[in-house]
C-alpha cells in the first residue's frame, strides 16, 4: 500500500452547485475565449509581435545581475532585474536554477514584492498575495535532488554550468539580456529567452483616473475610458489589467496583472509533441497562421467542451504542459509547471548558416512561446537524448502511472444510464448469453436519489447489494459516478455537513477547508455510502470543474480555495485534487486488506496518472472522432498519462453498425477500453447490432482478453519507468525521420505488436508504414511483410483487424475464453515467439504477473520473467533454444512473496507458437525441455511450412514448464 500521509494535508475542491443535464448541442465557440479575448494572452502575443518586428533592435528588459549570482551544491541563485525605463526603478525577480542528479535542469523565477507580501489587494480581497507556489506540491513527487557535482564557471557576460551524466550537459546563462542555452554533445538543443519574449507582469498599484466617457465594448472586451484607449507609457495595454469581462461575468482581478511568459526554442528540431489535451495531429501544428496552420495558440484551460471539434488547438478537459521536440536520434523536452490558464504558440522557421542560401539546405528551428495568467515561472528542461529518456525523467518528477487492478484493463460497459438494478442484472445476463466477456458495468447520474450522491434511488435501485452480488459471482465490478457538484438542497446530510464545516470553495467575498480530505474519505465508508460493496469503484466526472452558468462553463477565477488561493492560480490542478481525494478515500475503505483503487477522471494535470485512468470526454459517433481518438490517446501516452482511452462508439449520437464495429476494433487497443453513450442514444451493447456485427465485435473483445497478460506487462513497465503503453512510430524508431509524423498507427508496449485501426467509412484496406529492414507478420495468418521505409497496403475488410507482429519479439497471451478477467487467473499461458528474417533468428520478451488486486507486489509477490530465443551455432545438431530468466532482483523473500509463489506453482506454459520457424525444424516431432528442480523431458513439436507469402510456423504442445520457473527448451 503506498504512503498517503503527504496528501492528507491538502484540500479537496468541492463545488456547491445544482447539477443540470448535459446539453447536446455542438460546441459553442462563443462560450470559450480566443486569444484576442484573453487579456494576458493578447498582451504576451503583443510582446512577441513587437520583438519579432524589431528584430536585432529589440532588447529584452530583463538582466541577471552578476553580483547576485551564487552557485552552491548544484543550485544557482541570483536576481533578475526588469528595467521599466527612465524614471522608474527596476523590479526584482529571484531566480533559482537547480541542476538535478537526473540531468534535468529547473529554472524558477518568482517576484520579490509578491513573495514578501509587499503589495495591496483591491476590492478588500483576502486572496493570497504571493504568486501561487504550490503546483509542485501536487504535481511533483520526486527526483529533485540537486547534482552537487555541477561545476560553475563565471565570466563578465555569462555564467556556465556543466552538469548531467559525465558532465556532458552545459547551461550557458547570459547575463544581459537574461537568456539560457542548454548544450549537449557540442550543440545547443534548447534555448530559453533567446527571442526576448520573457515577461513577468510585476505588481503595480492601480492609478484611479477621473471618470470619463466609456466607449461601448465588444463581447469579450472590457469597456475602456478615453484615457485608457491608448497603450501606457511602457508600451503595455492595460485595458484588462484590473477587470476583465466575458460571457456576462466580470473577473475582479484583485492582484492586477500577473502573467508570466517565455520563449523556448528547439534549434534543429522540426517536430514537437505533447501538451495534451487537444484534437489534431500528434506532431503539433504552427499557431501563427499560414496554410494548414492554426491561427490560435494551443490552450490549456480545463473545460467542459461537449461535442468538441476536430483538428483544433481549443482547450479540452485536461492539461499536461509537457512538450517533447524530436529529430533524428535526438529528443529533448520542457515541462512548464504552472496550473493557471496557459497558451502556447508554435512557429517553425528554416535557419541557415549561409545567408545567401535563402533557406535551402538549412535546418528547421521550432520556436515556442508559453504564457500563463498567474503563478511562478517554473520550467524543467530535459536533454534526452532518447524519447524514453525524456519521458522517464519527466515521470521521475511527476510520478508513474498507477498499476491498476487486473479488471481495470479489461472491457468496461457503460451508458448514461442503466435505469435500474434489474436493468443491470439483465445486461449482465445478456453478455453471458452471447458469450461476450466483460468486467465492469457503470452507472451514471441516474442511480442517485434525486441527484444526491452517496444515496441510491430507492425506487429504481432498491437492492444495490443484490445487484453487486450477481456481478461478483463472475468476479465483475460496478463503477458509479461521483461528481464534485454537491446538490444544495434540504434534507441532504452531505450538503449540510459540507456547509457546516465550511469545506466548499468560496466566492470572491469569502462566503462559504484542511479537514475536507478526511471528511470526503468518510463518505465512502460502507456504513456511510450504504448499499456499496468491495467490488464498487468510482468515476469522477465534471471535475474541471464544470459549471454550466459560469464563465467558460467553469468557476469564476476570483473564487477562493483553501489557503485563500484564487481559482485562477490552480484551475488546471482542480481535477487532480478531487481524484486524489477519491483515490485515498477508496484506500481507506478497506484499511486491513487494501485493494488498489480504480478511479476514472475527466479532468487531469501532470501527476494525475498516479491515481487512475482518463478518457477523452464527450466525443461524437462519427468517423472523424474515431480517427482523432488515436493521436489524442497517443499524446497522453507520451505525456506520462498512458492509462487513457476514448468512448467506444462515441458519446453523442447513434453510430451506424460498421462504425460501431470498427470502433470496437480500435478500442480494444486503447489502454482504457470502455464503451459509453449519452442518455438520448439508442442502446448499443455488443449483442444488439446482430450478425455479422455482433460476432465481429465479440471476436475483437475476446482478442483483448487473450492479450491481457501482454497488456498487464505493459502496464507494469509504465508503472516503474513511465513508458507509454501505446507508442507512436517516432518513439519506437527514433532514427526513421520519414515517419516522425505518423500518428494513425502504434505499437503496444515493448511487444512489437503494431496496429493500424480502420477509421474511414467503407474502407477495406489501409496503408501501414513499415520501417526499412524490419520484418512483420500478420497476427492472424502470418503473411510476411518486409519493411522498406514506406507504407504497404494491408487488406482489411470489416471482419479483419490490421494487426502485425514485428520480428524479434516474444509476448504472452491466454487462449481460454472466460466471462471475465478474474476467471482467467489460474489459466495457463501461451508464448508467441516472433522471429525475424533468416539472419535475425533471435527474439526477446517479458511477462509480469501478480495477484492483480492488492499491493502485495510491493513486497515481492509477483512473477517477472524474461524470455529469450537464440539461434543455434550448429544448424545440424542445435537449432535454437528458448529460455526463461528472472527479471526480479535477488533478495530476501517476504512471506507474501513466498505465499504468492506457492499459489502459482501449478500455473504453466501450455503452448509455444513460433512464427517464421526455421526450415530445419521440418520433420522434427519433439523438443528437449529442462526446468529448474526437475529432470529433462521431451515435448511434442509440430511444424507447418510457409506457403503463399506466409511464414512457416511451429507449435510446442504442453511443455509443462511453470510460468514462474527457470527453464530451457532446445529445438
Reduced to 3 states (helix: H, G, I; strand: E, B; else coil), residue 624 is: helix
Q: Residue 648: beta bridge partners?
A: 675
Could you give phi then psi for residue 878, rounded to 5 degrees? -140, 110
Whole-number Å distance between alpha carbons of 961 and 781: 27
Whole-number Å distance between alpha carbons of 671 and 755: 13
- For every residue of 744-782, DSSP letters joined together read S-EEETTTTEEE----STT--EEEEEE-TT-EEEETTT-
Q: Give catalytic status of residue 541 as yes or no.
A: yes
Catalytic residue, chosen from 345, 396, 544, 743, is 544
Chain Cα centroid distance, residue 344: 18
* Greatest C-alpha distance within the chain: 100
Whole-number Å distance between alpha carbons of 482 and 484: 7
Residues 11 and 517: beta-carbon distance below 8 Å:
yes
Whole-number Å distance between alpha carbons of 18 and 542: 12
| Residue 970 buriedness (CB in 10 A; 0-12 / 13-18 / 19+) | middle
User: Which residues, other chains included, contact 328 with Cβ-Cβ below 8 Å and sequence gap of 6+?
Assistant: 734, 735, 737
Catalytic residue, chosen from 222, 365, 439, 541, is 541
Q: What's the full length of the chain, in residues?
A: 971
- Residue 128 DSSP symbol: -
For 592-625, b where at least 16 C-beta lie within 10 A, e where not — what string?
A: eebbbbbbbbbbbbbbbbbbbbbbbbbbbbbbeb
Q: What is the CA radius of gyration of the chain?
A: 29
Could you give phi then psi for residue 735, rounded to 5 degrees? -95, -10
Chain Cα centroid distance, residue 971: 43
Q: How big is the CA angle at 759 (ends 758 and 763), to the nearest 5 degrees?
A: 65
- A 10 A CB-CB count for 298 gives 26
Residues 311 and 324: beta-carbon distance below 8 Å:
no
Nearest CA among 299, 246, 252, 37 for reference residue 125: 252
Whole-number Å distance between alpha carbons of 750 and 748: 6
Reduced to 3 states (helix: H, G, I; strand: E, B; else coil), residue 760 is: coil
Whole-number Å distance between alpha carbons of 728 and 737: 13
The H or E element containing residue 144 is none
Question: Distance from first CA to last CA of the chain, Å, rounded?
Answer: 44
Whole-number Å distance between alpha carbons of 885 and 507: 60
488: left (phi over 0), alpha (psi -120 to 50) or beta: beta
Q: Give catalytic status of residue 472 as yes or no.
A: no
Catalytic residue, chosen from 251, 618, 685, 778, is 618
Task: Kindly report each contact of residues 235-241 with a partner whose C-beta sits within 8 Å and lies 24 or more positions away, as own/partner.
Answer: 235/50, 236/43, 237/42, 237/43, 237/46, 239/39, 240/39, 240/40, 240/42, 240/43, 241/39, 241/206
Could you give phi then psi for residue 730, rounded to 5 degrees? -60, -30
User: Which residues, other chains included, contact 889 with Cβ-Cβ below 8 Å and sequence gap of 6+?
Assistant: none
Whole-number Å distance between alpha carbons of 394 and 336: 11
Q: Give catalytic status of residue 618 as yes or no.
A: yes
Reduced to 3 states (helix: H, G, I; strand: E, B; else coil), residue 883 is: strand
Chain Cα centroid distance, residue 356: 44
Whole-number Å distance between alpha carbons of 629 and 670: 9
Reduced to 3 states (helix: H, G, I; strand: E, B; else coil), residue 764 is: coil
Whole-number Å distance between alpha carbons of 387 and 734: 8
* DSSP-H helix ranges across 707-788: 708-721, 729-732
Catalytic residue annotation: 541, 544, 618
Amino acid at each position: 500500500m503506498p504512503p498517503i500521509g503527504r496528501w492528507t494535508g491538502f484540500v479537496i475542491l468541492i463545488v456547491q452547485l445544482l447539477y443540470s443535464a448535459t446539453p447536446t448541442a455542438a460546441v459553442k465557440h462563443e462560450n470559450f475565449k480566443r486569444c484576442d479575448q484573453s487579456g494576458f494572452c493578447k498582451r504576451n502575443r503583443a510582446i512577441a509581435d513587437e520583438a519579432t518586428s524589431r528584430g536585432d533592435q529589440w532588447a529584452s528588459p530583463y538582466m541577471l545581475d552578476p553580483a547576485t549570482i551564487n552557485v552552491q551544491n548544484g543550485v544557482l541563485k541570483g536576481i533578475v532585474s526588469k528595467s521599466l525605463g527612465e524614471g522608474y526603478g527596476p523590479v526584482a525577480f529571484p531566480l533559482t536554477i537547480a541542476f538535478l542528479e537526473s540531468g534535468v535542469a529547473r529554472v524558477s523565477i518568482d517576484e520579490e514584492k509578491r513573495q514578501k507580501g509587499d503589495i495591496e489587494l483591491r476590492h478588500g480581497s483576502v486572496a493570497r498575495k504571493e504568486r501561487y507556489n504550490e503546483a509542485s506540491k501536487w504535481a511533483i513527487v520526486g527526483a529533485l535532488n540537486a547534482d552537487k557535482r555541477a561545476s560553475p564557471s563565471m565570466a563578465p557576460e555569462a555564467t556556465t554550468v556543466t552538469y548531467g551524466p559525465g558532465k556532458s550537459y552545459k547551461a550557458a546563462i547570459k547575463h544581459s539580456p537574461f537568456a539560457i542555452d542548454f548544450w549537449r554533445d557540442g550543440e545547443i538543443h534548447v534555448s530559453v529567452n533567446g527571442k526576448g519574449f520573457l515577461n513577468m507582469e510585476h505588481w503595480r498599484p492601480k492609478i484611479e483616473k477621473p471618470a470619463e466617457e466609456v466607449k461601448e465594448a465588444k463581447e469579450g472586451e472590457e469597456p475602456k475610458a478615453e484615457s485608457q484607449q491608448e497603450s501606457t507609457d511602457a508600451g503595455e495595454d492595460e485595458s484588462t489589467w484590473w477587470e476583465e469581462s466575458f460571457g456576462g461575468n466580470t473577473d475582479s482581478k484583485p492582484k492586477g496583472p500577473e502573467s508570466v511568459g517565455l520563449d523556448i526554442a528547439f534549434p534543429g528540431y522540426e517536430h514537437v509533441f505533447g501538451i495534451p489535451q487537444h484534437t489534431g495531429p500528434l506532431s503539433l501544428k504552427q499557431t501563427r497562421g499560414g496554410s494548414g496552420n492554426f491561427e490560435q495558440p494551443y490552450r490549456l484551460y480545463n473545460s467542459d467542451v461537449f461535442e468538441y471539434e476536430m483538428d483544433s488547438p481549443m482547450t479540452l478537459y485536461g492539461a499536461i504542459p509537457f512538450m517533447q521536440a524530436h529529430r533524428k536520434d535526438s529528443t529533448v523536452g520542457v515541462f512548464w509547471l504552472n496550473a493557471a490558464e496557459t497558451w502556447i504558440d508554435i512557429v517553425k522557421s528554416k535557419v541557415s548558416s549561409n545567408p545567401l542560401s535563402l533557406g535551402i539546405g538549412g535546418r528547421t528551428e521550432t520556436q515556442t512561446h508559453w504564457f500563463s495568467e498567474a503563478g511562478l515561472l517554473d520550467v524543467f528542461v530535459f536533454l534526452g537524448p532518447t524519447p524514453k529518456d525524456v519521458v522517464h525523467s519527466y515521470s521521475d518528477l511527476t510520478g508513474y502511472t498507477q498499476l491498476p487492478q487486473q479488471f481495470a484493463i479489461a472491457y468496461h460497459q457503460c451508458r448514461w444510464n442503466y435505469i435500474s438494478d434489474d436493468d443491470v442484472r439483465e445486461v449482465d445476463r445478456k453478455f453471458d448469453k452471447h458469450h461476450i466477456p466483460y468486467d465492469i458495468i457503470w452507472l451514471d447520474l441516474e442511480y442517485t436519489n434525486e441527484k444526491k450522491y452517496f444515496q441510491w434511488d430507492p425506487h429504481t435501485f432498491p437492492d444495490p447489494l443484490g445487484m453487486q452480488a450477481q456481478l461478483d459471482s463472475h468476479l465483475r465490478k460496478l463503477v458509479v459516478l461521483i461528481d464534485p457538484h454537491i446538490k444544495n438542497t434540504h434534507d441532504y446530510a452531505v450538503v449540510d455537513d459540507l456547509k457546516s464545516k465550511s469545506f466548499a470553495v468560496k466566492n470572491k467575498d469569502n462566503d462559504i477547508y484542511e479537514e475536507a480530505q478526511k471528511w470526503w474519505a468518510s463518505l465512502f465508508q460502507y456504513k456511510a455510502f450504504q448499499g456499496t460493496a468491495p467490488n464498487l469503484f468510482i468515476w469522477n466526472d465534471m471535475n474541471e470543474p464544470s459549471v454550466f452558468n459560469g464563465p467558460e462553463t467553469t468557476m469564476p477565477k476570483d473564487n477562493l480555495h483553501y489557503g485563500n488561493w484564487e481559482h485562477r492560480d490552480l484551475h488546471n490542478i482542480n481535477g487532480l485534487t478531487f481524484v486524489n481525494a477519491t483515490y485515498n478515500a477508496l484506500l481507506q475503505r478497506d484499511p486491513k486488506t487494501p485493494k488498489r483503487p480504480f478511479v476514472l477522471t475527466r479532468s487531469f494535470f501532470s501527476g494525475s496518472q498516479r491515481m487512475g485512468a482518463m478518457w477523452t470526454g464527450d466525443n461524437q459517433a462519427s468517423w472523424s472522432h474515431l480517427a482523432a481518438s488515436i493521436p489524442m490517446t497517443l499524446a497522453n501516452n507520451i505525456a506520462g498519462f498512458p492509462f487513457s482511452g476514448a468512448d467506444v462508439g462515441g458519446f453523442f449520437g447513434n453510430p451506424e453498425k460498421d462504425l460501431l464495429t470498427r470502433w470496437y476494433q480500435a478500442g480494444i487497443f486503447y489502454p482504457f477500453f470502455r464503451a459509453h453513450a449519452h442518455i438520448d442514444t439508442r442502446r448499443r451493447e455488443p449483442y444488439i447490432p446482430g450478425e455479422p456485427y455482433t460476432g465481429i465485435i465479440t471476436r475483437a473483445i475476446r482478442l483483448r482478453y487473450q492479450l491481457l497478460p501482454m497488456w498487464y506487462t505493459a502496464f507494469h513497465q509504465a508503472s516503474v519507468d513511465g513508458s507509454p503503453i501505446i507508442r507512436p512510430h517516432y518513439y519506437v524508431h527514433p532514427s526513421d525521420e520519414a515517419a516522425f509524423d505518423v500518428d494513425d498507427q502504434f505499437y503496444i508496449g515493448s511487444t512489437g505488436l503494431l496496429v493500424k485501426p480502420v477509421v474511414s467509412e467503407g474502407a477495406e484496406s489501409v496503408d501501414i508504414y513499415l520501417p526499412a529492414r524490419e520484418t512483420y507478420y500478420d497476427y492472424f495468418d502470418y503473411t510476411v511483410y518486409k519493411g522498406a521505409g514506406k507504407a504497404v497496403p494491408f487488406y482489411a475488410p470489416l471482419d479483419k483487424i490490421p494487426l502485425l507482429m514485428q520480428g524479434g519479439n516474444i509476448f504472452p497471451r491466454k487462449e481460454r475464453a472466460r466471462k471475465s478477467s478474474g476467471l482467467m487467473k489460474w489459466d495457463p499461458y501461451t508464448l508467441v515467439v516472433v522471429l525475424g528474417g533468416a539472419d535475425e533468428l533471435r527474439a526477446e520478451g517479458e511477462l509480469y504477473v501478480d495477484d492483480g488486486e492488492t499491493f502485495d507486489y510491493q513486497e515481492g509477490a509477483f512473477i517477472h520473467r524474461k524470455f529469450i530465443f537464440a539461434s543455434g551455432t550448429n544448424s545440424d545438431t542445435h537449432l535454437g533454444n528458448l529460455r526463461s530468466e528472472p527479471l526480479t532482483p535477488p533478495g530476501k523473500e517476504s512471506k507474501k512473496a513466498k505465499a504468492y509463489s506457492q499459489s502459482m506453482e501449478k500455473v504453466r506454459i501450455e503452448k509455444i507458437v513460433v512464427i517464421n520457424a526455421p526450415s530445419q525444424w521440418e520433420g522434427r516431432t519433439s523438443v528437449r525441455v529442462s526446468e529448474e528442480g526437475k529432470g529433462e523431458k521431451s515435448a511434442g513439436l509440430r511444424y507447418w511450412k510457409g506457403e503463399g507469402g506466409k511464414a512457416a510456423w511451429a507449435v510446442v504442445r504442453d511443455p509443462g514448464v511453470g510460468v514462474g520457473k527457470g527453464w530451457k527448451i532446445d529445438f
